[in-house]
Amino acid sequence: MDKKIPEIYGSLVFNDKVMRDKLPKDIYKALRKTIDNNTHLELDVANAVAVAMKEWAIEHGATHFTHWFQPLTGYTAEKHDSFISPGACGDITMDFSGKELVKGEPDASSFPSGGIRATFEARGYTNWDPTSPAFIKDGTLCIPTAFCSYSGEALDKKTPLLRSMEAISREAVKVLKLLGRDDATGVTTTVGPEQEYFLIDEEDYKKRKDLIFTGRTLLGAMPPKGQEMEDHYFGALKPRVSEYMHELDEELWKLGIPAKTKHNEVAPCQHELAPVFDTTNVAVDRNQLTMEIMKKVAKKHGYVCLLHEKPFAGVNGSGKHNNWSISMTGGENLLDPGKTPDENIQFLVFLLAVISAVDDYADLLRLSVASAGNDHRLGANEAPPAIISIFLGDELTAVLDSIENDKLFDKKGKVRMDIGAKVLPHFTKDTTDRNRTSPFAFTGNKFEFRSLGSSFSVAGPNTVLNTAVAEELSKFYEELKDVPKAKFSEAVHALLKKAIKAHKRVIFNGNGYTDEWVKEAEKRGLYNFRSTPEVLPRLIDKKNVALFKKHGIYSETELKARYEVMLENYCKTLHIEALTMQDMVVKQFLPALLEYTDEVIGSALSKKTLSDSLSTKTEEKQAEILSSHYEKIYDLNEKLKKDVVKAEKIADYQKQATFYHETVIPDMEKLRAVADEAELLIPDEFLPYPTYEQMLFYV
């Protein structure tokens, strides 16, 4: 590294330090007021900021600017405009105005809108999000923005997220003030998304149509060794992988992304990167950038970075652990147990708000992580189950039990304290072992939502989480706001007891992988949505529409649009996978199988030619087995073809999605099972694409 980390860190970011250096004091103060208090930005301030931002960007080699936004594709989008402005004498000036900084007008017609926009209605608007700093990428000044339609509906993932952050801050401050925290002016949620991924050789990738078109392998038998020896997890980094990670860190640091931890994951060729926590909307932006930079740097090292949730059958898939917490402006973590009863009242109120939110809106949390890719992963013995539950650990669970039952809380080495109306126990951060099978685990002073898929934007899950917690805090406020001061402690205690009794069913500290838990969860009345088509209708359920409308997160129109977009995306994904599988079977696998069968038959004929006394039973038996596989694969592929045609004719997306899940996916699984069995009989040189063994163990 030519420069030290502190020198390169954030060097391509228009961050607070740069703003202080580049902006006049009055302009800097006005901009900070907008960022900190969400106030209107005056045009003269925007113009001054635009000039400083342009000059800084040009100093760093930028020639263009773009409004960088996150449409409903799940990816980012950008339209580049140069700074140049032609002069009257054939010369140019480098211009960038406040209007260009604050507002853009990209064509909105081709982005998913769920019917909000017709194709001929092209106009859409991008609006600057000053709370997420601008940055330079590939010689372009990138300005994080929200994206909305001509008529004002949100067409992106950032706008609802920002609304949800405002909602939880508003409701949390109201509760904090009731608890005597007159210093509460705002609340911020923070997120640290851990990112899992696979690296494979680019040359192998280019030979696999399934990876190119779908991001996952649709055919492929497991090699003799997979991950069962657990020798890859936290193992020494291979030199080439280490070089990749080193450059990835540098590129992320330049963009102000606090990449902190890197290591090998469980499956061969699987790895993980974890950042330090950021404010939620900034963390979302930076995670989108992280995924992009991962792929870009991988190509420089001869790799392809796979972010699909299940690129290889038989080994672990990839998730994204969403570490979520909530803090007061100034940094005090509201999920940190305190040292006094009063501090613990605050902690317990916010803890119970989260528990209540997860229970009341478990369907929305499950929906927020639903996709065709993640359906392959959730519920497998590598990821949390599809049933949403909370892990609290033994001590916290005991604390809640003592509050619910008005018992004494007794911790070894600690004084027993009465759980009365005025006194709550003193307890510390839970030291219980972490539960890797829990989808929503408390880990000391934060919750780890572990159900997200590796390719996901973390905007959706955090929008749901923020909104659900805001709603529970709103309910708490309504119950406590008119309570006289003399009876307030008793009222808080009664509120906590009521919340524990109502929502303790969602607390589960055991093994989430067992069949017993599935049965127990059903007894408790918990949801178990096993697939995306099954859970998606919950987005437009009356209860959930009311939640989002109440807090101003989504209108009913925006919710219906997202329901349509998610359904359509699911159907398109399965359609592409089915067509790709058919193509590989017909054009690649069956020809390879037939070629090898012919060679086996040819071997038998050669033996007969040499001598009638030579036995050909082995070759004949082998040819018979290969031919049998050929016929089965052909027939199963024909069935898949016919069912895909049936799916294409279903006009209703919900019915089509259900058909893909219940008919087309089983078709593909049966076809794959026979093909993978046959692959084990074919020498590698006959296959036109690399096997699992070649991809996973030769990097």
How many residues are present in the chain?
A: 699
Q: pLDDT-derived band of residue 419, with 50, 70 and 90 as boundaries?
A: very low
Reported in sequence order, the residue ranges of 219-264 that DSSP labels E, i.e. its strands, are 259-264
Residue 363 binned pLDDT confidence (cut-offs 50, 70, 90):
very high
Domain ranges of the chain: 5-156, 164-554, 569-697
> In the structure encoding, which two tokens stand for residue 31, read together?
């901009």
Mean pLDDT for 474-483 is 97
Residue-wise pLDDT tens digits, 542-583: 999 999 999 999 999 999 999 999 999 999 999 999 999 999
Handedness of CA 9, 13, 15, 20 (dihedral sign): positive
Instruction: Supply 183's token pair.
Output: 């210093």
Residue 90's contacts (CB-CB under 8 Å, 6 or more residues apart) are: none
Give the residue-averaged pLDDT of 354-380: 94
Most confident of 146-160, 332-346, 394-408, 464-478: 464-478
How would residue 422 be classed by pLDDT, with cut points 50, 70 and 90? very low
For the entire predicted model, the pTM comes to 0.92
Q: Identify the three-state secondary structure at position 184.
A: coil
Identify the pLDDT of residue 123: 72
Q: Which residues contact 438 (CB under 8 A, 6 or more apart)?
A: 384, 389, 390, 391, 450, 508, 509, 512
The whole-number pLDDT of residue 418 equals 42
- The angle, 0 to 180 degrees and rounded to 10, between the axes of the packed helices 158-178 and 459-480 is 30
Residue 237, classified by CB atoms within 10 Å of its CB into exposed (0-12), middle (13-18) or buried (19+), is middle
Backbone torsion region of residue 399, taken as left when φ is above 0, otherwise alpha when ψ lies between -120 and 50, otherwise beta: alpha
Q: What is the pLDDT of residues 242-252, one digit of tens each?
A: 999 999 999 99
Could you count the other beta carbons within 10 Å of the beta carbon of residue 681? 15
In Å, what is the CA distance from 207 to each residue of 201, 211, 688? 10, 9, 7
pLDDT at 613: 60
Class of domain 569-697 as given by CATH: mainly alpha
The pLDDT of residue 121 is 61
Taking residues 252-280, what's their average pLDDT? 93
Strand 259-264 and strand 278-279: the pairing is unpaired
What pLDDT shows up at residue 410? Answer: 62
Confidence band for 106, pLDDT divided at 50, 70 and 90: confident
In the predicted structure, residue 421 carries a pLDDT above the cut 50? no
Task: Report DSSP letters for 105-123, one per residue.
Answer: --B-TTS--TTSS-TT--B
Using CA atoms, how far residue 682 sits from 227, 319, 646, in Å, is 23, 33, 33
pLDDT above 70 covers a percentage of the chain that reads: 92
CA distances from 621 to 233, 321, 560 (A): 42, 50, 58
**What's the half-sphere exposure (Cβ side, CA atoms, 13 Å) at 529?**
22
Higher pLDDT, 532 or 433: 532
483, 372 contact by CB (below 8 A): no
Q: Is the pLDDT of residue 697 over 70?
A: yes
Q: Tell me: pLDDT of 149 over 90.
A: no
Model confidence at 341: pLDDT above 70: no
In the 8-state DSSP scheme, what is residue 71? B
Task: Write down the pLDDT at residue 89.
Answer: 73
Q: In the predicted model, is pLDDT for residue 358 greater than 90? A: yes
Q: Helix, strand, or coil here: 70?
A: coil
How would you class 543 by CB atoms within 10 Å of its CB: exposed for 0-12, middle for 13-18, buried for 19 or more?
exposed
Average pLDDT for 317-324: 95
| Alpha-helical runs (H) found in 649-664 | 653-659
Per-residue pLDDT at 585:
98
Least confident of 133-137, 379-383, 562-566: 379-383
Please give the Cα distance from 278 to 574 (Å, whole number). 35
Per-residue model confidence (pLDDT) at position 237 = 85
The fold of the 164-554 domain, in CATH, is Creatine Kinase; Chain A, domain 2 (3.30.590)
- Residue range 515-521: average pLDDT? 93
CATH superfamily of the domain spanning 5-156: Glutamine synthetase, N-terminal domain (3.10.20.70)
- Using DSSP, state whether 655 is helix, strand or coil: helix
Residue 161's pLDDT is: 97
Q: Does 414 have pLDDT greater than 50?
A: no
CA distances from 606 to 593, 596, 601, 612, 622 (A): 20, 15, 9, 10, 15
Predicted confidence (pLDDT) per residue in 17-55, tens digit = 999 999 999 999 999 999 888 788 889 999 999 999 999
